[in-house]
């Protein structure tokens, strides 16, 4: 036997703490057995409970357990458990029990609450948004009760460790007096397990791999899925206390030769004489110029001391701006009605049932490949993206934006031109911090609690707006339309609707109940019917706005822009498959689940403009800024003017699947989880060319992610427009 093993065994045999743990000289066998049971219960309760919670939570949500994920759970769970045991051993037995019970109870509640939150919002709450999560439970108590009712088994399983502990608490008694060195052993063991787990993490250096999400970018969904709830809570707490990490993006500048845009091969064939008898005059291309502002990024970078802001100046200054085009200024001077539609899907549009929606979707700009990403699983992130041309993965993004300079929102851009700008919402005006964000976006903000009820009493039917859940979008239109139709022209109004909110049933959703007769004969399950019924409010709202604008003779002077905040994720997977016509298996991995409708319509358009280019909510602000002929800098937005000659990059954060950075462009689709790029029909390249192209595009996505977050978190625009 090797000498080091003999020395180790001798150390273990004579270590006083271990002798005290598992028996003592002179004790009876019965007493030794009791001590071993008590001490084993003490040492294995937290490690096995933490591991149990991680495994049950992960498997119940994802239905799988990769070996690497299980290893992470084992290492990080045991590391956390042994840390708390080392702390507990500093206390007398009575307080040791209290601390252990508190740690276990809070941990079980953390897992259970995240489980319920995910079942509803398809994402997890963050430490910084716990208050919002509580408000969501309070304000959407019907939906919460429904989710708890359908999730009772998972909740029970996640509470079992705490229940077990309080039933057996008297057996939880470390039957020895540990020395300080023993407590140190536990702490060292905890640190070694943590370091071993981190060592495995950093081995994965692939694009959007484990190392990326552990060190460079914090994504609550990716962190929970890859490393577990406990690690997510630890990293999230660290971010809240010390700030988000600034991602170090490795590799080149993101530029690469495009392997899909190759010039046609030369040919030696000479055309027949009759084909070349008359050579048409070549068209002289029109040079429209760039959508940029007079910003000297080089000078800004040279004079900047903050390294993050300096890097941002260099990044934006190196970007190629989009060009103006034949559509630039097409809607200059017109009225703008801009809507974000709660939980909307293009599948709710029907030629006979929703004729106004159908007309707008098919007779204006027709976007055949539009997507709505799920940045953080909430209305706030979807609304923030549509209204700013930026993105963020925290439900606090609207609240955070209230302190920042936001020059490119339509409210601020059109307000500078003298437009009266008002925003309306038929839910509480303080929800998601809109009472701060929307005035900062350039709007007078009116919602429930800040004047909407008074407008309803003034302009609406007798009795004003109906007090129900959710409230009526149609009634909001009736109450508000006279204000801007009879006011100063041109005007800009913004609406955030609420009638399409979950839950989708005929018992707890008043809008669904109101319009049940409209969907009664449709070949769908009740959940899908209820969803379509409550979305019928959008049709009624738009029809009312069109009617009043037409009666006032200003319909052709008005542009409608609308998109969804997110797809209807509150529907069950089987209901989503039914609505979208997609396979239910792996539905959250399917990018077509995020396909949606973007309405951009004016009655002044003589014919539709069909756009097949893939685009997303990020592209709304730059596109309509160009259409209205506004002065903006295309380099400072994360989206692209879809009507320009620059190809948009659709970034799909499919939180429900844990694939945070999938992307789509005209050349194909990339899945960040499988790390597979699928070329679109008609495009092909060698494996080496595709690998280089994907790596370059992934770098561009990482850069957009880094600087989109920096704009919000560091108030970057204020450094540019001093």
Is residue 533 domain-shared with residue 396, that is, in the same domain? yes
Q: Is 222 among the domain residues?
A: no
Compute the distance between CA of residue 632 and CA of residue 45 in angstroms, rounded to an integer. 60
Is residue 626 domain-shared with residue 480, that is, in the same domain? yes
Give the pLDDT confidence score for residue 88 in this predicted structure: 87
Is residue 200 domain-shared with residue 338, that is, in the same domain? no
Of 188, 204, 220, which marks where a domain is finished?
A: 204
Whole-number Cα distances in Å, 343 to 115, 262, 482: 21, 41, 27
Model confidence at 271: pLDDT above 60: no
- Helix, strand counts (H, E) of the chain: 29, 15
Compute the distance between CA of residue 472 and CA of residue 535 in angstroms, rounded to an integer. 10
Residue 584 three-state SS: coil
Identify the helix (H) or strand (E) that includes residue 459: helix 452-459
DSSP 8-state symbol, 272: P
Model confidence at 265: pLDDT above 70: no
Q: Is 388 among the domain residues?
A: yes
User: Which of the four pLDDT bands, split at 50, 70 and 90, describes residue 22?
Assistant: low
- Identify whether the C-beta of residue 246 lies closer than 8 Å to the C-beta of residue 233: no
Give the pLDDT confidence score for residue 674 in this predicted structure: 85
Of 204, 219, 250, which marks where a domain is finished?
A: 204
Give the pLDDT confidence score for residue 128 in this predicted structure: 77
Instruction: Give percent above pLDDT 70 in the chain.
Output: 86
Tokens coding 587: 């539905």
Give the pLDDT confidence score for residue 428 in this predicted structure: 95
- Identify whether the C-beta of residue 554 lies closer than 8 Å to the C-beta of residue 489: yes
Q: Is 412 among the domain residues?
A: yes
Q: 231 versus 141: which is more confidently predicted? A: 231
- Identify whether the C-beta of residue 383 lies closer than 8 Å to the C-beta of residue 340: yes
Give the pLDDT confidence score for residue 302 in this predicted structure: 97
Counted residue by residue, the chain has a size of 722
Containing structural domain, residue 13: 3-204
Please, how many CA atoms are within 13 Å of residue 106, restricted to the half-sphere of its CB? 9
Compute the distance between CA of residue 534 and CA of residue 538 in angstroms, rounded to an integer. 8
Strands 668-671, 609-611: pairing is unpaired
Give the pLDDT confidence score for residue 145 in this predicted structure: 82
pTM of the model: 0.86
Whole-number Cα distances in Å, 489 to 230, 438, 486, 493, 720: 55, 21, 9, 11, 31
**For 42-46, 107-111, 449-453, which range has the lowest pLDDT when averaged over its residues?**
42-46
Average pLDDT over residues 177-204: 88
Tokens coding 718: 């204020």
Residue 494 pairs in a beta bridge with 338, 423
Residue 354 three-state SS: coil
* DSSP code string of 359-393: HHHHHSEEETTEE--BSSSSHHHHHHHHHHS---S
- Identify whether the C-beta of residue 594 lies closer than 8 Å to the C-beta of residue 374: yes
Q: How many domains does the chain have?
A: 2
Q: 8 versus 78: which is more confidently predicted? A: 78
**How would you write 199-253 as a 3-class SS string?**
HHHHCCCCCCCHHHHHHHCCCHHHHHHHHCHHHHHHHHHHHHHHCCCCCCCCCCC
Q: Tell me which residue of 626, 638, 636 sits closest to 721, measured CA to CA.
A: 636
Compute the distance between CA of residue 478 and CA of residue 541 in angstroms, rounded to an integer. 8
Tokens coding 592: 């077509």
- Please report where in the chains the tokens 């430490």 appear, as a residue: 127
**For 203-217, 351-365, 457-471, which range has the lowest pLDDT when averaged over its residues?**
203-217
Residue 320 three-state SS: coil
Give the pLDDT confidence score for residue 24 in this predicted structure: 55
Compute the distance between CA of residue 258 and CA of residue 275 in angstroms, rounded to an integer. 33
- Identify whether the C-beta of residue 677 lies closer than 8 Å to the C-beta of residue 669: yes
Instruction: Give percent above pLDDT 90 in the chain.
Output: 69
User: Which of the four pLDDT bands, split at 50, 70 and 90, describes residue 251?
Assistant: very low
Convert the pLDDT of each residue in 299-331 to its tens digit: 999 999 999 999 999 999 999 999 999 999 999
Q: CATH number, domain at 361?
A: 3.40.720.10
User: Which of the four pLDDT bands, split at 50, 70 and 90, describes residue 74?
Assistant: very high
Q: Is 409 among the domain residues?
A: yes
Give the pLDDT confidence score for residue 27 in this predicted structure: 55
Q: Is 286 among the domain residues?
A: no
Give the pLDDT confidence score for residue 659 in this predicted structure: 53
Of 179, 204, 229, which marks where a domain is finished?
A: 204
Q: Is 133 among the domain residues?
A: yes
DSSP 8-state symbol, 591: G
Convert the pLDDT of each residue in 491-526 to its tens digit: 999 999 999 999 899 998 999 999 999 999 999 999
Q: Is 662 among the domain residues?
A: no
Average pLDDT over residues 342-351: 98
Model confidence at 546: pLDDT above 90: yes
Q: 20 versus 552: which is more confidently predicted? A: 552
The sign of the CA dihedral 165, 166, 171, 176 is positive
Compute the distance between CA of residue 666 and CA of residue 615 in angstroms, rounded to an integer. 9
Q: Is 629 among the domain residues?
A: yes
Residue 650 three-state SS: strand
């Amino acid at each position: 036997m090797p000498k080091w093993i003999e020395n180790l065994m001798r150390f273990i045999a004579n270590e006083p703490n271990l002798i005290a743990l598992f028996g003592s000289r002179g004790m009876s066998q019965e007493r030794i057995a009791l001590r071993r049971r008590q001490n084993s219960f003490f040492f294995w309760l937290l490690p096995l409970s933490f591991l149990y919670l991680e495994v049950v939570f992960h498997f119940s949500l994802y239905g799988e357990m990769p070996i690497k994920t299980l290893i992470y759970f084992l290492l990080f769970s045991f590391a956390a458990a042994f840390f708390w045991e080392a702390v507990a051993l500093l206390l007398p037995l009575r307080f040791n029990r209290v601390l252990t019970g508190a740690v276990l109870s809070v941990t079980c509640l953390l897992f259970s609450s995240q489980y319920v939150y995910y079942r509803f919002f398809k994402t997890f709450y963050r430490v910084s948004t716990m208050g919002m999560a509580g408000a969501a439970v309070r304000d959407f108590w019907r939906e919460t009760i429904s989710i708890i009712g359908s999730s009772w088994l998972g909740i029970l399983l996640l509470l079992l460790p705490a229940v077990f502990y309080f039933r057996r608490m008297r057996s939880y008694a470390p039957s020895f007096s540990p020395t300080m060195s023993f407590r140190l052993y536990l702490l060292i063991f905890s640190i070694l397990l943590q370091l071993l787990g981190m060592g495995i993490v950093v081995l994965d250096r692939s694009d959007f791999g484990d190392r990326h999400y552990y060190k460079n970018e914090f994504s609550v969904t990716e962190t929970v899925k890859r490393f577990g709830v406990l690690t997510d809570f630890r990293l999230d707490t660290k971010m809240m206390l010390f700030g988000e990490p600034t991602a170090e993006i490795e590799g080149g500048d993101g530029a690469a030769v495009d392997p899909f845009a190759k010039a046609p091969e030369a040919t030696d064939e000479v055309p027949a004489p009759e084909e070349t008898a008359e050579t048409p005059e070549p068209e002289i291309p029109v040079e429209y110029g760039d959508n940029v502002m007079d910003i000297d990024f080089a000078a800004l970078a040279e004079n900047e001391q903050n390294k993050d802001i300096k890097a941002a100046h260099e990044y934006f200054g190196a970007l190629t701006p989009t060009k103006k085009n034949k559509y630039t200024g097409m809607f200059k001077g017109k009225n703008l009605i801009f809507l974000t539609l709660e939980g909307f899907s293009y599948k709710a549009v029907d030629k006979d049932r929703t004729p106004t929606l159908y007309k707008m979707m098919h007779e204006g700009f027709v976007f055949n490949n539009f997507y709505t990403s799920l940045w953080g699983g909430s209305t706030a992130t979807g609304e923030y993206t549509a209204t700013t041309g930026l993105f963020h993965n925290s439900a606090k993004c609207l609240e955070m934006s209230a302190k920042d300079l936001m020059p490119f929102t339509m409210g601020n851009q059109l307000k500078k031109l003298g437009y009266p700008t008002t925003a309306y919402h038929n839910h509480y005006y303080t929800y998601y911090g809109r009472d701060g964000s929307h005035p900062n976006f350039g709007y007078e903000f009116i919602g429930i609690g800040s004047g909407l009820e008074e407008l309803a009493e003034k302009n609406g039917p007798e009795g004003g707006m109906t007090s129900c859940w959710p409230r009526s979008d149609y009634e909001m239109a009736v109450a508000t339309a006279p204000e801007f139709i009879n006011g100063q022209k041109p005007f800009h109004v913004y609406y955030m609707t609420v009638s399409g909110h979950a839950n989708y049933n005929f018992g707890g959703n008043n809008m669904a109940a109101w319009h049940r007769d409209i969907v009664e004969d449709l070949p769908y399950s009740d959940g899908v019917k209820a969803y379509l019924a409550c979305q019928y409010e959008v049709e009624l709202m738009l029809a009312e706005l069109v009617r009043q604008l037409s009666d006032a003779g200003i319909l052709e002077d008005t542009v409608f822009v609308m998109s969804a905040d997110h797809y209807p994720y509150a529907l069950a997977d089987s209901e989503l498959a039914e609505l979208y016509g997609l396979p239910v298996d792996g539905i959250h991995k399917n990018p077509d689940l995020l396909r949606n409708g973007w309405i951009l319509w004016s009655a002044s358009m003589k014919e539709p403009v069909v756009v097949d280019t893939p685009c997303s909510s990020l592209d709304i602000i730059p596109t309509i800024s160009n259409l209205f002929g506004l002065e903006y800098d295309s380099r400072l937005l994360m989206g692209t003017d879809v009507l320009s000659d620059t190809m948009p990059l659709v970034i799909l954060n499919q939180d429900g699947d844990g694939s945070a950075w999938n992307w789509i462009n005209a050349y194909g689709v990339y899945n960040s989880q499988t790390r597979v790029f699928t070329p679109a029909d008609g495009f092909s390249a060698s494996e080496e060319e595709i690998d280089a192209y994907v790596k370059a595009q992934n770098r561009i996505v990482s850069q957009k992610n880094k600087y989109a977050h920096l704009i919000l978190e560091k108030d970057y625009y204020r450094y540019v427009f001093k």
